[in-house]
A and B are shown apart, each in its own frame.
Chain A
Amino acid sequence: MRSWLTTTDHKRIALLYLGTMTLFFTLGGLLATVIRVELATAASDLVTAETYNRLFTLHGVIMVFFFLIPSIPTFLGNYLLPLMLGAPDLAFPRLNLASWYVFVAGGLLTLTAMVAGGLDTGWTFYTPYSTTFSDSHVVLAVLGVFLAGLSSVFTGINFIVTIHRLRAPGLTWLRLPLFVWSHYATSLILVLATPVLAMTLLLVAIERGLSIGIFDPEAGGSPLLFQHFFWFYSHPAVYIMILPGMGVVSELIPCFSRNRPFGYEFVAASSLAIAVFGFLVWGHHMFVAGQSYFASVVFSFLSFSVAVPSGVKVFSWLGTMHRGSVWLTTPMIYALGFVALFTIGGGTGLALAMLAVDVHLHDTYFVVAHFHTIMVGGMLMAYLGGLHFWWPKISGRLYSERWGRIAAYTLFIGFLLTFLPQFVLGTQGLPRRTASYPPEYQFLQALSSAGATILAVGYVLPGIYLLASLVRGRPAGDNPWGATGLEWRTSSPPPPHNFNKAPVVTEDPYDYPRAPQPTFIGAGDV
């Protein structure tokens, strides 16, 4: 126990994060369950409207700040970056451990706010509701999120320095795995954007206590200023969530297609382009908030621009599979699910970037469905795909491939059933964040709730068979998938300092045509 709490080994810290985030994810999922049960009927009958508002707020805060943003970087990134770079650890091991403690402290503050009576501002903390009108625990929650942000700045700095300084001999920039490129882009956003969130949240706390008049119109402030500040972080935060997922998928698809990535340079450059353009689109959250027509047009244009590098990603994944040897293992099913859902999620994002269309769809269920398709459909699929792909490396064991595939398909079907109806609800004009709704929307809402039960099964299954694999799983061997990448050149799980002999890189990445064939033979496969 003590050795875990004082460890500076990036692999152990990654597992600490995995455990902590799994708890937060479970909590966020339970909140979502109550929300979906409540919404199965039109009236607000299971919980009061006041409770409902606290439920969706905490669901959002926990899922965004304590699961989606840290998930892939702090777990898979933490575990894999040094391995992929051929390094013994991250550049600042103690900073890494500190980031986990700060993260836990932030989580505890937020949980305290929840237990003490909750938070009802929505995860967006819009002013003047949050500064003047809410009688819930805004300051506590805001400080919790502030600490979570601080923790991710630590992680971002650590990753940037590690990627610059600790690459193995011969591992040039253009030989970096795409996973590393996407984490580099993510870290840049983490370091540059998170301070703005921190500042904004502190201002909310100060405004609440001292009424300094920066956001409060009564004191001469501007509520829209808050929205500008908030989205200046929170839109790039969307790319903090999705870029690492793209990085994971860019590892899985070449491996299970036995092909080099189609357009490596394009995929790597698109990660950076997304990170840069992602900073310039925040105003698309404010098309109907009363910003000027000119500003709206510019933000709409820039939002379409960010879709071009995203399109490059999808095209490149398809190109990688083309003329490959495509093997539908569990991680690959997740990867393909990601590509399909990211396309739908990104496409519906175009609808929202389109000015006239956004006037109708803004703040409706369409928006809810859109970002859940990117976050749950995209990001979570990638997270689970990565978890399954590297599980043999991390645990040294193979899980049940049969159950893995069943869970992946269950999740995909459950997802579509849950969120496709919400696109329709929004197009029909149902605003989001409502405890009750007019009865004409009941059928689709009930359908969505039914889909959520299937989705829940899809989440519980991996928890069971992955844990079971620790006890019953067959030994995985060093490289069950026949994957390239330095992490597969060491034992499973890797020794404390990762490599018994420091690796030297002499070839380009993803040389799948000449890579060893997989030692793993799944049920019914070649």
Chain B
Amino acid sequence: MILGIPFELLPAAASATSGAVDVAVFLVFAVIGVVSLGVVAAMVYIVVRYRRRPGNLTGRGHDPATIWRTELGWCALTATVFLGLFTVGAAFFDRIERVPADADALDVAVTAKRWMWSFHHPNGRRELSQLHVPAGRVVRLHLASEDVIHSFYVPAFRLKHDVVPGWLRTAWFRATAPGTYALACAEYCGTEHAVMRADVVVMEPHAYDRWLAQGDDSRPPLAAAGRALFQRLDCGACHESHRRRRAPPLEGLYGRPVALRDGSSVIADDDYIRRSILRPDADVVADYQGGVMPTYAGLVDDDELLLLVAYIRSLADAEGVSP
């Protein structure tokens, strides 16, 4: 509270990583405050103490040794402080970036399009402009854009991740307290950018389970829908494991490193799978031939890609025949 007006510098922290961000924010704000006030105080002192007046019409300067000593000392001091801030920022960033591999994590497909957010839950339930999640569980967001760049920003979670068309990105959070939190698009995306907002409703786990069960049962779960699409497109003709001579098997693929023909290796994440569907020859798996699989660009849209990825993700722990 300042002057009777409710005032909070940061929105109430509500995720597993927001505490760390807040520590970093207060640390760097303290440094900015001390340095800025210090500089202003030094200027005021100097302006008063060394003001131009009879008897002080000419500066008295400094000898070169003092200058070199203090300049180098100042460089060393600032470099040390900056190194400290950098280290703290990078260490906490690692915690935000590293997606946890929790077994009970909830995978939600997020589609951004001008100017709304839509969400697709693992059991098939879809919602628009509202995202219901349980407190205390890791929620992995699989982010896709149908048009321009958007940015998934929940200030209370201190979480922001751009949603870039042509890429599938994964972000995550673990909400700590039930409540409703604002989600805003942080990347300018056109006319109604300002109102491209949604609510993240964090519920007690049992309430979330009840909410999930109330859903429209006619929709198949995400992975099942992906499987249906997989069959409709006849992907299994090559990718089912017993015919693996033509294409790599998909069981146990998700999240693991894949050796490529050019000797490099990639992690089979959302983006890799998306890319392999749209541009199969971009990363040809070791021991396989390129030029076999046709591109599916134009045949599957962004929503359907998320379904296919969800299906392949559901095979992550399946028993595959390792090549």
How far apart are the CA atoms of A157 and B11 in the complex, in Å?
49
Contact B47 A350 (CB under 8 A): no
Beyond A260-B59, A340-B43, A348-B32, whether A356 also contacts B194 by CB under 8 A is no
Contact B59 A133 (CB under 8 A): no
Query: Which of B68-76, B218-226, B310-318 is the contact stretch?
Result: B68-76
Q: How large is the interface on A (under 10, 10 to 19, 20 to 34, 35 or more residues)?
A: 35 or more
- Number of interchain pairs (Cβ within 8 Å): 275
Contact B162 A347 (CB under 8 A): no
Residues of A within 8 A of B151 (CB): 288, 363, 431
Residues of A within 8 A of B83 (CB): 304
Min Cβ gap A250→B in Å is: 14
Cross-interface CB contact of A357 among B21, B114, B189, cutoff 8 Å: B21
How far apart are the CA atoms of A10 and B107 in the complex, in Å?
65
Residues of B within 8 A of A311 (CB): 74-75, 78
A434 at the interface (CB under 8 A from B): yes
Query: Which of A292-300, A401-409, A493-501 is the contact stretch?
Result: A292-300
Indicate with 1 or 0, residue by residue over B30-61, a CB within 8 angstroms of chain A CB atoms.
Answer: 01100110011011001100111110111111
Contact B194 A44 (CB under 8 A): yes
Min Cβ gap B139→A in Å is: 17
How far apart are the CA atoms of A257 and B52 in the complex, in Å?
8
Contact B93 A324 (CB under 8 A): no
How far apart are the CA atoms of A505 and B32 in the complex, in Å?
42
Query: Which of B2-10, B236-244, B254-262 is the contact stretch?
Result: B2-10
Chain B 121-177 interface residues, beta-carbon cutoff 8 Å to A: 147-149, 151, 153, 155-156, 158-162, 164-167, 169
Cross-interface CB contact of B190 among A120, A343, A348, cutoff 8 Å: A120
Beyond A300-B89, A304-B86, A431-B186, whether A133 also contacts B96 by CB under 8 A is no
Query: Which of A82-90, A169-177, A179-187, A314-322 is the contact stretch?
Result: A314-322
Beyond A223-B149, A351-B29, A355-B90, whether A323 also contacts B58 by CB under 8 A is no
- Size of the B side of the interface (Cβ < 8 Å), in residues, is 87
Contact B57 A347 (CB under 8 A): no
Contact B184 A318 (CB under 8 A): no
Closest to B98 in A: A293
Beyond A308-B79, A326-B50, A429-B153, whether A53 also contacts B191 by CB under 8 A is yes
How far apart are the CA atoms of A509 and B188 in the complex, in Å?
49
Contact B82 A307 (CB under 8 A): yes
Contact A359 B169 (CB under 8 A): no
Cross-interface CB contact of A315 among B5, B59, B71, B192, cutoff 8 Å: B71
Min Cβ gap B75→A in Å is: 6
A92 at the interface (CB under 8 A from B): no
Residues of B within 8 A of A319 (CB): 62, 67, 70
How far apart are the CA atoms of A326 and B51 in the complex, in Å?
5
Chain B 273-316 interface residues, beta-carbon cutoff 8 Å to A: 279
Of B9, B32, B169, chain A has the most CB atoms within 10 Å of the CB of B32
Min Cβ gap B18→A in Å is: 8
Beyond A304-B82, A350-B82, A526-B57, whether A325 also contacts B90 by CB under 8 A is no
Contact A356 B59 (CB under 8 A): no
Cross-interface CB contact of A288 among B58, B162, B193, cutoff 8 Å: B162
Contact B88 A354 (CB under 8 A): yes
How far apart are the CA atoms of A308 and B79 in the complex, in Å?
6
Residues of A within 8 A of B156 (CB): 429
User: Top 8 closest A-B pairs, CB basis?
Assistant: A217-B166, A429-B155, A259-B59, A354-B89, A355-B93, A356-B92, A434-B194, A347-B32
